[in-house]
């Protein structure tokens, strides 16, 4: 995006005063989760959840669904959190909070498709990170989960243009960011970056949000950007994309993201991508279950 159109975008957003505000629960939650797993304070998480009635209800409902229920139903938030596990709870909190920033009728993409893609990329990102010995797989997960948050901003701030871009992408079978650039002059990566900065999301995650379709720039973007880029690509060729057919051939070993990672993480060369792809079926099923339970009425 040119400096001029970026300025125009900033201007438009501040004039409209429409930039979604961070859900109350999210910032303390981000803080809570931004530490090693063994130091995460479960009591604090339980307390945060109890401040939000709808999230409380969702946690308990999900913990008592056939998928997660243990011997007896969970009746307290604490029991629900224990039954779901801290990371499931985090997924639920994020998707719930982020969903709330846009009114139900404003979704331009199908929310279930959006969350399946976001959670799919998150899972694949974490798995990728583990396979290449990237030091912080949970950070990779979070970057994957949030990578397309600009899509939500677009739904709120430029709904008509974004709808046209989405239609163009579906009709012409082209990547969404290409259609956005053609119609709006900017992409969900740009709006995602603005929201990430406004919400003070850690800078490496904000970079991944902004650069996951612009991997070619060697000056910017560390391994997290490459991880999100590759995971996004893999999900799009494994039925976890935006719900339309993209006729394309992806050769991961020649992708710029792959080439970036291979320097710092040589074990990437040993990944059995075929097997990883077959196993994605399993992730896709997990993701589907999770999304259905979040959106179950």
Partner 1 sequence: MSNETTLVKDEIIAPENLADPAWVRIRDLIYTVSGIFQTENKFYLLVGRANRRMKVVGARTPREYLDFLTARPNRDAEIRNLLNEITIGETCLFRSIPQVDALRKVVIPTIAEAKKKLSFTKIRFWSAGCSTGEESYTLAMILQEETQTSLKGWTFEIVATDLNDRSVAKAQEGVYNDYAVRNIPPEFIKKYINKSGSDYRVADSLKSHITFSRMNLLDDSKMLFMRGIDVIFCCNVLIYFDGKSKTRTVQHFYNALSPNGYFFLGQSESLYGINDKFHLVHFPGTTAYWKPADGGLKVGTP
Task: Quote the CA–CA distance of 238 and 224 in Å, as a whole number.
Answer: 21
Among residues 61, 25, 84, the alpha carbon closest in space to that of 294 is found at 61
Which two three-digit tokens encode residue 133?
Answer: 């010995």
Q: Rounded to the nearest whole angstrom, what is the least distance from the CB of residue 59 to partner 1 in the complex?
A: 25
Interacting residue ranges for partner 1, rule: CB under 8 A: 234, 236-239, 241, 245-254, 258-259, 262, 268-275, 277-279, 281-282, 285
Q: Which is nearer to partner 1, 76 or 239 (CB)?
A: 239
Task: Quote the CA–CA distance of 150 and 225 in Å, as a whole number.
Answer: 15
Report the interhelical angle of 111-131 vs 137-146 (nearest 10°): 160
Q: Which is nearer to partner 1, 7 or 67 (CB)?
A: 67
Q: Rounded to the nearest whole angstrom, what is the least distance from the CB of residue 284 to partner 1 in the complex?
A: 9
Q: Rounded to the nearest whole angstrom, what is the least distance from the CB of residue 261 to partner 1 in the complex?
A: 8
Task: Quote the CA–CA distance of 98 and 48 in Å, as a whole number.
Answer: 16
Q: Rounded to the nearest whole angstrom, what is the least distance from the CB of residue 110 to partner 1 in the complex?
A: 18
Cβ–Cβ under 8 Å, residues 117 and 234: no
Task: Quote the CA–CA distance of 147 and 209 in Å, as a whole number.
Answer: 4
Task: Quote the CA–CA distance of 67 and 98 in Å, as a whole number.
Answer: 24
Q: How many residues does the chain have?
A: 297
Q: Which is nearer to partner 1, 35 or 277 (CB)?
A: 277
Q: Rounded to the nearest whole angstrom, what is the least distance from the CB of residue 239 to partner 1 in the complex?
A: 6
Alpha helices in 3-84 (DSSP H): 3-16, 26-33, 42-50, 53-63, 77-84
Q: Rounded to the nearest whole angstrom, what is the least distance from the CB of residue 156 to partner 1 in the complex?
A: 30
């Amino acid at each position: 995006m040119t400096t001029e159109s970026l300025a125009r975008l900033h201007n438009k957003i501040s004039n409209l005063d429409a930039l979604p505000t961070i859900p109350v629960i999210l910032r303390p939650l981000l803080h809570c989760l931004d530490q090693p797993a063994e130091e995460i304070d479960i009591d604090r998480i339980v307390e945060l959840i109890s401040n939000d009635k709808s999230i409380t209800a969702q946690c308990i409902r999900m913990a008592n669904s056939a998928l997660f229920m243990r011997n007896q139903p969970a009746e307290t938030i604490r029991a629900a959190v224990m039954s779901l596990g801290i990371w499931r709870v985090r997924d639920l909190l994020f998707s719930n909070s982020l969903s709330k920033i846009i009114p139900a009728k404003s979704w331009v993409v199908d929310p279930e498709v959006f969350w399946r893609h976001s959670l799919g990329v998150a899972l694949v990102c974490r798995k990728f990170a583990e396979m290449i010995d990237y030091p912080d797989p949970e950070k990779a997960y979070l970057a994957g989960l949030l990578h397309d948050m600009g899509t939500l901003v677009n739904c709120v701030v430029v709904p008509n243009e974004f709808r046209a871009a989405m239609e163009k992408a579906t009709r012409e079978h082209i990547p969404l960011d290409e259609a956005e650039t053609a119609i709006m002059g900017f992409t969900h990566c740009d709006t995602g970056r603005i929201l990430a900065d406004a919400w003070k999301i850690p800078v490496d995650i904000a970079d991944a949000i902004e650069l996951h379709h612009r991997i070619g720039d060697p000056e910017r973007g560390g391994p997290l950007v490459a991880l999100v880029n590759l995971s996004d690509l893999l999900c799009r060729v494994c039925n976890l994309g935006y719900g339309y057919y993209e006729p394309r051939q992806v050769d991961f070993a020649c992708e710029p993201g792959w080439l970036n990672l291979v320097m710092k993480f040589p074990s990437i060369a040993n990944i059995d991508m075929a097997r990883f792809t077959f196993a994605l079926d399993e992730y896709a099923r997990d993701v589907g279950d999770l999304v259905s339970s979040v959106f179950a009425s």
